[in-house]
Amino acid sequence: MTKQKIVECVPNFSEGQNREVIDKISAAISSVDGISLLDVDPGPSTNRTVYTFVGSPDAVIEGALNAARTAFKLIDMAKHKGEHPRLGALDVCPFIPVQGVEMEECIYCARKFAEKLAAELKVPVYLYGYAAQHEYRKTVPQIRCGEYEGILEKIVKPEWKPDYGPAEFVPQWGATMAGARKFLIAYNVNLLGTKEQAHRIALNIREQGRSKEEPGRLKNCQAIGWWLDESNIAQVSINLTDHETTPIHTAFEEVSSDARELNIAVTGSQIVGLVPLRALLQAAEYYIQKENLFILEEEQKIHLVINRLGLNSLSQFIPKERVIEYMLPDQQSGSLINKTVKDFVCTVAARTPAPGGGSIAGAVAAMGAALGAMVGQMTYGKRQWEMYDVQMRRLIPILHYTMKELLTIIDRDTTAFNDYMAALKLPRTTVEEEAVRDAAMEAGLKKAIAVPMNLARAVSKVWEATKELAVVANIGTKSDLQVGVKCLETGVLGAYWNVTINTEGIKDEKYKNEVLQEIEQHRYLAEKNCNEVLKLLQERKA
């Protein structure tokens, strides 16, 4: 299935106290066809609201424009005060790639939005991030320096001429920054201290530090300290512009370390807006390794992170409302793995060539790995088998993650078959068209071969684990492991038959021979190891 193009837009408006204004901007965004408004996060002390919505590139441009039109009528920057630094009524408007788009398309969104905003509302707009046209004003702090109050003097300088719109001060609006960037995580750590102490820690950790001579410790990290009247606490307010470089847990641990040195209590933290699933799983893996925990399920990993980072400290952190992947419009309604078992079986039984044997091989193999993982789980943590706990902590993940990998085969096999059928339907009325069709068919066959080959490779990685389980696992799960290894063997045999039939149409002899040799080896290993596991289980008495 081709994934729909999805861009995220996160405009920050300088209004966090007037509920009527906040709601009207929300309604303006939601009124645009193709837009899903995922989150609205107002901050009374910062007097700022962060909106998060997704849609196609054209839809998010229109959604941001519609929000700006509404804000233009309702927000007066001449009267605005708040803890958060700001440049204008619509302070920043970033576009972020989420699914099926590259950064270049988000740069297009930022520039097209900036052009339209400036032309329609006659306001100055600066480009930042990947959309920036000047290196010296590429970051938000560079452009925002002097804030709203400094625009009057700054904007008339040639080097600060806006990228779009008039080079003049618009008191009601200020100026806007439009950009393209990677996913930014807005993250605050709570302190029972003063605003000044929070800012002192912020200077220690943020990349720019106190000066060029005194840089901070964390890359891709912006931070300031502020005070929250509504919660009666201080916060180190952090923007992580690349969470792969500086993850959430690193920021939390660094702030906590400095707070301990100052004898300040840390009372949890807060994610503003949405967060990528990957960022939470990064943090989970850190605490799992640090504390030598054994956690496999995604839901439990997220629960661990919520606890360790104290994400419920100011308001409840609900993953299905805060993790962007959980919030995206459902693009998988037609996928096989999201069907009920009944619907999946009936789809296979229908008078269509796909899904067929390849998808079934993936499903059967995935169930085999799942049964192996279950056998490990039914052994781990039980007093009778506790002498094998360390061993189970090593074996269970092998089968668990193989199960996850094999599940992807179910849809990928059907997609590969459909791609090959599309190549078959290409025209061949000319020599050129015949050559294009032949190349597409060869590529389609190789893709159709790659899917079952990956299935066989995945299963070959778990045989040693199943043999270890057969020797020591909870004897009450003997039949489950017997069924499981036969499922794994059947999955590999399915892969073998799919590969061999598809290689018949391959013209690349070298590739064909390599593939046939490899799949024969996987078939041999499957039959040999399956029999060995069954023999071990049959001979066990307890």
Euclidean distance between CA atoms 17 and 48, whole angstroms: 8
Confidence (pLDDT) at 3: 63
User: What's the Cα-to-Cα distance from 520 to each of 95, 127, 405, 465, 497, rounded to whole Å?
Assistant: 49, 57, 21, 21, 10
For β-strands 125-129 and 176-180, DSSP reports them as parallel
- The pLDDT of residue 414 is 85
Distance, CA of 254 to chain centre: 24
In this prediction, residue 472 carries a pLDDT of 96
DSSP letters spanning 348-383: HHSSSS-S-HHHHHHHHHHHHHHHHHHHHHHHTT-G
Burial of 232 (0-12, 13-18, 19+ CB in 10 A): exposed
Q: Using CA atoms, how far apart are residues 220 and 208, in angstroms rounded to an integer?
A: 9
pLDDT at 378: 97
Round the average pLDDT of the chain to a whole number and report it: 94
| Chain segment 248-278, per-residue pLDDT in tens | 999 999 999 999 999 999 999 999 888 999 9
Write out pLDDT tens, residues 323-349: 988 887 765 556 888 889 999 999 999
SS (HEC) of 453-470: HHHHHHHHCCHHHHHHHH
The per-residue pLDDT for range 279-324, each reduced to its tens digit, is 999 999 999 999 999 999 999 999 999 999 999 999 999 999 899 8
Task: Kindly report the pTM of this predicted structure.
Answer: 0.77
d(CA 105, CA 103): 5
Q: Which is more confident, 331 or 123?
A: 123
Q: Report which of 109, 103, 273 is spatially closest to residue 187, judged by C-alpha positions.
A: 273
Catalytic sites, residue numbers: 84, 413
CA angle 455, 457, 460 (to 5 degrees): 110
Average pLDDT for 434-450: 90
The tokens for 340 are 């009920």
